[in-house]
Amino acid sequence: MFMANIRFKGSDILVLGAGVTGVATVRYLLSQGLQPVVADNRSQPPGRTQLVELLPAEQLHFGISLERIELTGFKRIFVSPGLPGNLALFDQARARGIELVSDIALFLRQIDRPLIAVTGTNGKSTVVTMIAHLLRRAGKQVLAGGNLGPAALDLLQQPVPDYYLLELSSFQLEWIDRLGAEVAVITNIAPDHLDRYDSFASYGETKAKLLRGARHVVLSLEDPQLRKMAMKLPADVSVHWFGEGRDSDRGLTTAAPLLAVPGLAGRHNQLNGQAALEVLRALGEISQLPDSWAEIWSGFRPLDHRMVLVGQWRGVDWFDDSKATNVAATLAAVEGVSLADDGKIVLILGGDGKQQDFSPLQRLLPRLRAVVVTGRDGEQLAQQFVGKVAVSQGVDMDEVVVQALKLVQPGDCVLLSPACASTDQYSGYQQRGELFGLAVRRIGELPNDGC
């Protein structure tokens, strides 16, 4: 049956997507005296309530097919990063000469202060939080946002800082040609989002866009992909390394030692702290920090669901690393845990695997007591370990925790580090981690012979 195109009236500006980015874009446009139209293919998008308060009903269009939007009359389209760049609507817009703009591109046009930009497969939110803390300890004003939140355009509603600091995902970088950051940081590159990208190479190329136009870059010496990226940088770009290793081609900028950051477990968080310090070194601000390590990190509050200790029961530590949504993050978490001499790990895995290769997880076997799987791809994960280590399964988080309790021994730890996205069962990794913490606290109420 023929479906007529949908024509909007009343504006020459279209905002596609009614999530966090869409809402921030609308707020900014309104502050500039502009009245956009908003469209989203979801009937109940996350930003619906806020947008209803901001715009009249005739400017809001939810639950419609984006491919049916009639573009006549539009001059600019603001795109949300969750939308894939290969939509036919975007090809039609380009053919008509309609400008496609992301919120980050708009943000870059407005700022006149140095920008620090961070991306990577894992650790980027933690590194952003660390950089913000260190700059404030150095006496600087910093506004941080982007993928971590708040949205970049919302930062423009606040007093101008000394530095802007953005976490940028690969989805956000798809829409950027040249970032021009004062310091660009890539924490690591590992396979992820292969349900969106044609190949790992394509994903890595998108991440590398962060480096375009940067004055300083901070990269991991331990990541071969990043060492290759450094070889392609212009000679006048200052390269700062973190991690352990040597780069004989570009030269090694002396890195800070690997030291534990208060409140964060794992060697990967030591690397995150080192990366954050290298940013301050690149900015020339490191001399403004307090003299002692304890004073430098005084007041630092780690982000939730990233190697957070949520319980200690019967000689067992229980860690929430729900943010580990890919294999590389889980590898880093398991390999970074400090264990007692005879201690091992009961590892909780599962969710939406995003078409990843799970076989690298087998290298963790020497550290594992058992594996508990759950979620859509739990069975696929179980096949990596069957016959090699004890494997159990849980339908929901309560059952998962009870199964882990049956398998764990004193001196071990239980680690929720799923290597998968959470949206097959939960609203996000946050809800998954919160339910894990609640389940752990409930087992603390069991009698010693319980379960």
Q: Which two tokens stand for residue 315?
A: 């000689």
Which residue of the set 61, 133, 193, 323 is catalytic?
193
Catalytic pick among 122, 147, 188, 269 = 147
Instruction: Write out the two tokens for 117.
Output: 């930009």
- Whole-angstrom distance, CA of residue 107 vs CA of residue 269: 30
For 144, the token pair is: 């941080």
Please tell me the distance from the alpha carbon of residue 324 to that of residue 122, in angstroms, as a whole number: 8
Asked if 193 is an active-site residue, the reply is yes
Told to judge if 147 belongs to the known catalytic residues of this protein, a careful annotator would answer yes
Which strand ranges, in their side-by-side order, compose the sheet holding 238-242? 142-146, 163-167, 115-119, 183-186, 216-220, 238-242
Assess whether 133 carries a catalytic annotation.
no
**Is the distance from CB of 361 to CB of 327 less than 8 angstroms?**
yes
- In sequence order, the 6+-apart residues with CB closer than 8 A to the CB of 194 are 200, 203, 354, 355, 356
With beta carbons less than 8 A apart as the criterion, state whether 194 and 355 touch. yes
Of the candidates 381, 314, 299, the residue with the CA atom closest to the CA atom of residue 347: 381
Q: Cβ contacts of residue 163 below 8 Å, gap of 6+? A: 113, 114, 115, 116, 135, 140, 141, 142, 143, 182, 283
Q: Which residues pair with 166 in a beta bridge?
A: 117, 145
Task: Answer whether 11's CB lies under 8 Å from 71's CB.
Answer: no
- Distance in angstroms (rounded) separating the CA atoms of residues 307 and 322: 8
> Maximum distance among all alpha carbons in the chain?
72
Please report which residue ranges of 142-249 form alpha helices under DSSP H.
152-155, 170-173, 200-208, 224-231
Contact (CB, 8 A) for 390 and 369: yes
- What are residue 349's DSSP bridge partners? 373
Catalytic residues: 124, 147, 193
